[in-house]
Amino acid sequence: MAAHLPTRRVPARARIGTLAAAALAAAALAGPLAAPAPPAAADTAPDGRTYRKIVFPVQGPVSYRDDFGACRAGCTRTHQGNDLMGVKMQPLLAAATGRVTFIRTDSSGNSGNMVTITDAAGWSYHYMHVNNDTPGTDDNANPAQHRFAPGVVSGATVRAGQVIGWMGDSGNAEGTAPHLHFEMHTPSGSAFSPYVSLRLAQGLPAGGLCAFPSNPRPTPDAGANRGYWAVSARGEVYAYGAARHLGNVRAAPGAPPAVALAPTATGDGYWIVDAAGEVHAFGDAVDHGSMAGVPLNAPMIGITPTGSGRGYWLLARDGGIFSFGDARFWGSMGGQRLNAPVIAMASTPTGRGYWLLGADGGIFSFGDARFWGSTGGMRLAAPVVGMATTHTGNGYWLLGADGGVFAFGDAGYLGSIPGTGWCDRPGAVSMTRSTTGRGYWVLTTEGRVMTFGDAAHHGDPATAGARPVGLAAVPD
């Protein structure tokens, strides 16, 4: 038996989510030209508008508004981009890494001097009214060295943030203030408003986002991750996907609240425990005992079944452990002085050990549970509220109340609520991993179930007006 107090040690490979104060550094300005597969669908802001992660296309101050779709030429056509108003010779920057797929050096017509960049996924970025004057004049001489930067020619590769030309008033912008007419097009060629993309590129809110999302792209697999249960404090169970509803706790008014649900090994039953330690069994779950009627030093906060399903541990808020059935006692933090209360527990795949988690992210390991790292001693933006282990038992994730995720051991960082970039972010209540170990679900304070990695979405208690306290996945 070994107990590890909270430590500052973090494995070098652990990828830490946005619960930590550090921000991710932008890497779009360097590195080789990537060729990722086109996204299955456009990135969509919470308000439904399409956006793309870009570098702001003008260096220096500009002014603009969302004038996409505005009338032009007596409403015989509409504006297909946004006009970024500035001054002549302001550097124009490549919005994305890609190739020059079109360039026009004839400064007449509507667009005047123009260049199009297409990224590896097929999204295109159009720059119009590029400069056609000798600096300091309005002579329309169209000097080549003051239109586009050296090397910006058809077929050339450009990097995000690279100077590609200079702002001007060529084309039908002659006689107006210098500006860049900037368009964005989907791989199918449809134009959409660049406004959300532009605002986010400047670190300004738009469309319900306050930043570009930083989460890895999800890879949901409904076949491998079949469903989950959520339980409310009143003992009401909400079942989604392949999870079967097998009953609710019918507690009398004023009874202790339900605190957790745990499924049986078959997935054909579950246990619910309340704060007083009473265990309620449903389906093929067998009642192996409880702490009902026994005076407790601290309320019960969790139940964790053994791998066989023939026993379980109950966890109290002071770190006390109570074993029933074939669950063996490997140690506890009951009676010890803690820096923060214990808030969660997880067992190893063998059932011969377990971890206890403190609200500061401190990890206490017992039996064959190995210590893979913790946030104990770190300065956190929010307390830790939950954990989930990998299917190998060689790693775990910690969940913060703000939805930030910390990954340790072989647990891969797959995203977090702060990583969505949403301005109005919900808090987090609990998490559970997908059956493959390549994803996880996070239950929010508003009753939504958010998916990361290969975890598939099967439903939300929020649609029933519920605010659950726990979440559990259908077993393998």
Return the structure tokens found at 203: 């670190």
What is the rounded CA–CA span in Å between residue 232 and residue 251? 12
Q: Kindly report, residue by residue over 226-266, the tens digit of the pLDDT.
A: 999 999 999 999 999 999 999 999 888 889 999 999 999 99
Is the pLDDT score of 371 beyond 60? Answer: yes
Look at residue 62 in the predicted model and tell me its pLDDT: 98
Residue 210: the pLDDT is: 97
Task: Cite the residue boundaries of each domain of the chain with CATH code 2.130.10.10.
Answer: 227-473
CATH 2.70.70.10 segments of the chain: 47-201
pLDDT at position 41 is 58
Amino acid at 113: N
What is the average pLDDT across 85-113?
A: 96
**Contact in structure between 150 and 205 (CB atoms under 8 Å):** no
Tokens of 397: 């994730």
Mean pLDDT over 187-207 rounds to 96
Residue 332: what pLDDT? 96
What confidence score (pLDDT) does residue 70 get? 82
Amino acid (1-letter code) at residue 366: F
Mean pLDDT throughout 15-42?
Answer: 37
pLDDT range class, residue 71, cuts 50, 70, 90: confident
**Could you say which DSSP state residue 214 is in?**
-
CB-based burial of residue 8 (10 Å sphere; 0-12 exposed, 13-18 middle, 19+ buried)?
A: exposed
CA–CA separation, 349 and 402 (whole Å): 28
Decide if pLDDT at 176 tops 80: yes
C-alpha to C-alpha distance for 321 and 137, rounded to whole angstroms: 81
Distance CA 197, CA 207 (A): 9
Pick the CATH number of 47-201 from 2.70.70.10, 1.20.1250.20, 3.90.550.10, 3.30.420.240: 2.70.70.10
User: Please, which residues bridge with residue 77 across strands?
Assistant: 72
What does the alpha-carbon distance between residue 148 and residue 139 come to, in Å, rounded to a whole number? 17
Burial state string for 134-172 with b = 16 or more CB within 10 A and e = fewer than 16: eeeeeeeebeeebbbbeebeeebebbbbbebbbbbbbbb
pLDDT in tens, 395-446: 999 999 999 999 999 999 999 999 999 999 999 999 999 999 999 999 999 9
**Which SS3 state, helix, strand or coil, does residue 295 take?**
coil
Residues 375 and 357: beta-carbon distance below 8 Å: no
* Closest to 273 (Cα-Cα) out of 286, 262, 285, 284: 262
Topology adopted by domain 227-473: Methylamine Dehydrogenase; Chain H (2.130.10)
Q: What is the pLDDT of residue 6?
A: 33
pTM: 0.84
Structure tokens at 186: 């989907």
Q: Can you say whether the dihedral through the CA atoms of 468, 470, 473, 474 is positive or negative? A: negative
What DSSP line would sit under 55-121, residue for residue? --SBSS--B----TT-EETTTTEE--SEEEE--TTPEEE-SSSEEEEEEE----TTT-EEEEEEETT
Can you tell me the distance from the alpha carbon of 40 to that of 397, in angstroms, rounded to the nearest whole number? 28
Render pLDDT for 132-168 as a digit per residue (tens, 0 to 9): 999 999 999 999 999 999 999 999 999 999 999 999 9
Q: What CA–CA distance (Å, rounded) separates 84 from 183? A: 11
Reduced DSSP (H G I as helix, E B as strand, rest coil) percent helix, strand, coil of the chain, to 5: 5, 35, 60
Handedness of CA 465, 470, 473, 475 (dihedral sign): negative
Dihedrals phi, psi of 453, to nearest 5 degrees: 65, -135
Residue closest to 274 by CA, chosen among 304, 303, 246: 303
For 399, phi then psi, to 5°, come to -115, 130
Query: Which conformational region is residue 141 in: left (phi greater than 0), alpha (psi within -120 to 50 degrees), or beta?
Result: alpha
Q: Which residues pair with 101 in a beta bridge?
A: none
The H or E element that residue 240 is part of is strand 237-241
